Amino acid sequence: MKALVKYAPGKGNVGIRDIPVREPAADEIMIKVKYCGICGTDLHIWADEFPNSPPVVMGHEYCGTVIKTGPAAKATWSAGDRVVGELHTGACGACELCRTGKPHICDHKLALGSKFNGAFAEYLTIPAWLAHRLPEDIPWDVAGVTEPFAITAHCLAERGRLAPGSNVLISGAATMGLMSTIWASRLGARQIIVAGTQRDTDQRFPLARAMGATHVVNVEQEDLRAIVAELTDGRGVDAWVECSGAGAAIAAGLDAVKKTGRVILIGLVGPATIPVVWNTILYKELDLVGCFSSPPSSWELALAAEKDETVKLRRLVSTILPLTEWTKGFEMMRQGEVVKILMDMDTEG
Contact footprint for Zn ion (CB under 5 A): 39, 91-92, 95, 98, 106
Nearer to Zn ion, 152 or 232 (CB): 152
To the nearest whole angstrom, how small is the minimum distance from the Cβ of residue 148 to Zn ion?
A: 6
Q: DSSP 3-state assignment of 80?
A: coil
How many C-beta atoms lie closer than 10 Å to residue 279's C-beta? Answer: 8
> What secondary structure does DSSP assign to 93-134, as a single string?
SSSHHHHTT-GGG-TT---BTTTB--SSBSEEEEEGGGEEEP
To the nearest whole angstrom, how small is the minimum distance from the Cβ of residue 112 to Zn ion?
A: 10
Cis peptide before 275 (omega within 30 of 0): no
89 is a catalytic site residue? no
Nearer to Zn ion, 119 or 184 (CB): 119
108 is a catalytic site residue? no
- For the chain, the helix, strand and coil percentages under 3-state DSSP, each to the nearest 5: 35, 25, 40
To the nearest whole angstrom, how small is the minimum distance from the Cβ of residue 20 to Zn ion?
A: 26
Q: Let me know: does 300 contact 150? Beta carbons within 8 Å.
A: no
Could you tell me which of 255, 254, 167, 258 has the C-alpha nearest to residue 213? 167
Beta bridge partners of 171: 195, 242
To the nearest whole angstrom, how small is the minimum distance from the Cβ of residue 280 to Zn ion?
A: 30
Could you tell me which of 149, 156, 120, 140 has the C-alpha nearest to residue 38? 120
To the nearest whole angstrom, how small is the minimum distance from the Cβ of residue 129 to Zn ion?
A: 12
Nearer to Zn ion, 51 or 71 (CB): 51
Q: Is 311 exposed, middle or buried (0-12, 13-18, 19+ CB in 10 A)?
A: exposed
Nearer to Zn ion, 12 or 101 (CB): 101
Nearer to Zn ion, 106 or 341 (CB): 106
- What do you get for the CA distance between the two ends of the chain, in Å? 16
Q: DSSP 3-state assignment of 201?
A: coil
What are the residue numbers of the active site?
41, 44
